[in-house]
Structure 1
Amino acid sequence: MQVDKDIILAEPRGFCAGVDRAIEIVERALKKFGAPIYVRHEIVHNTYVVNDLKGKGAIFIEDLADVPPGATLVFSAHGVSQAVRQEAAERGFQIFDATCPLVTKVHVEVAKLHREGYEFIMIGHKGHPEVEGTMGQLTDGIYLVEESADVPHVRVKDPSRVAVVTQTTLSVDDAAEILNAVKQHFPLVREPKKQDICYATQNRQDAVKVLAPQVDVVVVVGSPTSSNSNRLRELAERLGTPAYMVDAAEDLQPEWLDGRSRVGLTAGASAPDVLVQAVITRLRAMGATTVRTLPGVEEHVRFPLPIGLGDKSMAEVTSERS
């Protein structure tokens, strides 16, 4: 016998201000300068968003040699190294920087403290473009740790001149655990005035902490490459609730829901609401009868756009996306 299912939505979920800004930069550049617009790396880690922008004329590249002279280039929301910035400038591209301002804040802090003689420990995931961008702000003196066990292997010139920075999309709890290990090993380590993990990552993880105990299964909308989406799934499982991540509604498997009447639904910061709505539609087809949203933090953050991308309002651009 099929069990009626209730869908319970986490709040907040989905797009954050940095993702909204990055997508808007590409869309405005396409409207102002025409296709193609080149983007270094996926603008955000979401398959739907990337394919949508490809359809509008964006070309995603990893190697700047693939961008023709004089072209318009957008840096992704994850940020880039100083070497990439220098190469792009030398090649003479028209550049728009879609780096999330919260990532830029970390880059600025690294540059400032480096001038004061500090070396750095970066907490993050090896190979993630944000980590590569942040570590690439310096040519040396910055060391990556992915887990607490890495910390004792870090060798610095002066333990009294060490600062710590963090990838913005980490698990808040994991990062805190690693930071404690850093502080035990380097008691004089300098921490950021405000933690590097971004408000949106924190809020979405806090919402899953509220959601997971109230449901029988959690579905996270997000692409496999999305760090913050993966952390949401891991967090739900850590709290004892089975959790699955879907890139699109068709990824949802009926057996995940067998015998489970309360389905929690959330989305990573790079996943658009259109995907959440498609998952809700599919869940309804699988027997869901009600949808309700848990109370949560309301986000009103808005980041300014780069100079030179026109005057169209965010509302107009958002309306055109839908």
Structure 2
Amino acid sequence: MKLVDSIYGTYTVEPVISELIDSAPVQRLKGIHQGGACYIVKPSWNVTRFEHSIGVMLLIRKLGGSLEEQIAGLLHDVSHTAFSHVIDYVLAEEEEDYHEQIYEQVIRASEIPHILDKYGFDLERIVLNHSCWTLLEQPSPSLCADRIDYTLRDLYTYGHINKQEVDDFIANLIVVDGIISTSSVAGAEWFVRAYYKEVIDFFLDPLNVYGSSVLTSVLKSAVERKALGLDDFLKTDEELMEQLQRLNDDSIQKQLATLHPHVNVRENENHYHIHKTNKLRLIDPHVYLDGTFQRISSLSKQVKKWNEEAQRRADRGAYVEVLSS
């Protein structure tokens, strides 16, 4: 199978990767939008979990990761439910990790174990023990393939960074002892700025907050009234939305009618209808200089300022005034 990715280019992948990509759990991710409800109110915000999963796999490959770690990267998001993290708000999951809680269940109930066994790969080692894959996942505030890809992919797709910037940053990445680092202060500073465009400016964009808040309210009502079960969230965004639209519930239908691309909202701390704070996500990449790892915040006063500002903005959250819906 040949893959063409907007960020990493063209690759020919191994048969096991090809078969996993064609599997039902991975194909379902084509119908799961990475930004949750945001595409409903702004259709151009349309990056999917499928694109991101392919991207994570290819970035691990580009950085020299093993085939096993590439497989882990490809499969790391297969348990994301419809509208991605919206279910965490519905269920009040503070760590926003519901998809991780059901990951093993989703994997074992699929054809993935059979595919891995067919090609001689160990399910337990590859898929059910992510702690050994240091390129794929690292705790905040470090770099990892997952964190890098969703940042670059969203910002590039939505026009906030250009391809040359992306290429320059990726060329600046190095792997030492299994840890992703930058090789220059400038590269690390660039990614810190980009990351906060993603997790602060985009995640807390008033339109994004509005879409997420309204859909959360709709889904919470449907779950409380037992019109939806948790298994329904394992459908695609479109399938779950169609199920909601079929419900004979005036309150739910009235709220659904306010989710459309023509809603008009703005940030207004003095007169607001929605206030939302997000899980704090800080970034402080390693820079590998003169044979040692150093956090960029210890080398750059500007990064320290950006981190402090990100902390303030995350704590403050977004105050959204709805002008028309």
Q: Please give the range of the TM-score, normalised by the shorter of the 2 chains.
A: under 0.3
TM-score relative to the length of structure 2: 0.27
Q: What is the TM-score with the length of structure 1 in the denominator?
A: 0.27
Bigger fraction of residues in helix: 2
Pick 1 or 2: higher relative contact order, CA cutoff 8 A, min separation 6.
1
Higher relative strand content: 1
